[in-house]
Chains A and B, each alone.
Chain A
């Protein structure tokens, strides 16, 4: 049972445009959501997070939006840069514990 889903395995975006990565979840107990970025041969790197009490969190070029009623979150990257090309994972946890449930990832390719 995949509780966190990233339905787009891949996404290509022109450099300078907006990249939008989507994530859906089914477990209503999740109360904290995170986005990680992963390059080949490296571990995931934390990007940005959002608590379920908020609907938006912004950090530089990265903004995460949370729609609790739809159980959906998205990551916006503006403007997209070639260095953003990587696999992006959405993750969630609940009750303040360390167990993260990950989505299967979206490979983002930024076209120069």
Chain B
């Protein structure tokens, strides 16, 4: 079974631009979560989608948004990029409908904002 895939793997943008990252979960997984990893803050939860609905949201500004499609694929969007948005963005999928199960992570998208 294929794992979680994320595209692109690397991205360079400039301040003020916007970016869209894509995640394909493991087949059959309906929950997709997004995390931001930075050296200073570690792994921070962004949001989680289940059946095309945002079910949980972390403490990030409204510039960070996401969506999920009917095939469970998910995208996250960051508008008006800032230098501090440079990070590794990780997507994770899980099988269980209600938590308490391990999440399977993709390799991440490394975003650099110049």
Chain A interface residues (CB < 8 Å from chain B): 31-32, 34, 36, 41-46, 49, 51, 89, 91, 93, 95-105
9 contacts between A and B (CB under 8 A): A31-B100, A32-B100, A36-B105, A42-B108, A44-B43, A51-B100, A89-B42, A98-B31, A99-B33
* A101 and B56 within 8 A (CB): no
* B103 and A100 within 8 A (CB): yes
Chain B binding surface, main DSSP class: strand
Docked complex Cα distance between A91 and B100 (Å): 11
* B48 and A98 within 8 A (CB): yes
Determine, out of B64-72, B74-82, B90-98, the stretch whose residues face the partner at the interface.
Answer: B90-98
* A95 and B105 within 8 A (CB): no
* A95 and B99 within 8 A (CB): yes
Chain B interface residues (CB < 8 Å from chain A): 4, 31, 33, 35, 42-45, 48, 50, 55-56, 58, 90, 92, 94, 98-100, 102-108
Q: A91-B43, A98-B31 are in contact. List 19 more A-B contacts (CB 8 A).
A: A31-B100, A32-B100, A43-B92, A43-B107, A46-B102, A51-B100, A89-B42, A89-B43, A93-B99, A95-B99, A96-B98, A96-B99, A98-B55, A98-B94, A100-B43, A100-B45, A101-B45, A102-B42, A104-B42
Docked complex Cα distance between A99 and B102 (Å): 11
Docked complex Cα distance between A103 and B43 (Å): 8
Q: Which of A41, A43, A91 has the most CB of B within 10 A?
A: A43
Chain A residues within an 8 Å CB radius of B43:
44, 89, 91, 100, 102
Say whether, besides A32-B99, A95-B99, A97-B98, A44 and B90 are in contact (CB < 8 Å).
Answer: yes
Question: What's the least CB distance linking A64 to chain B, in Å?
Answer: 13
* A41 and B98 within 8 A (CB): no
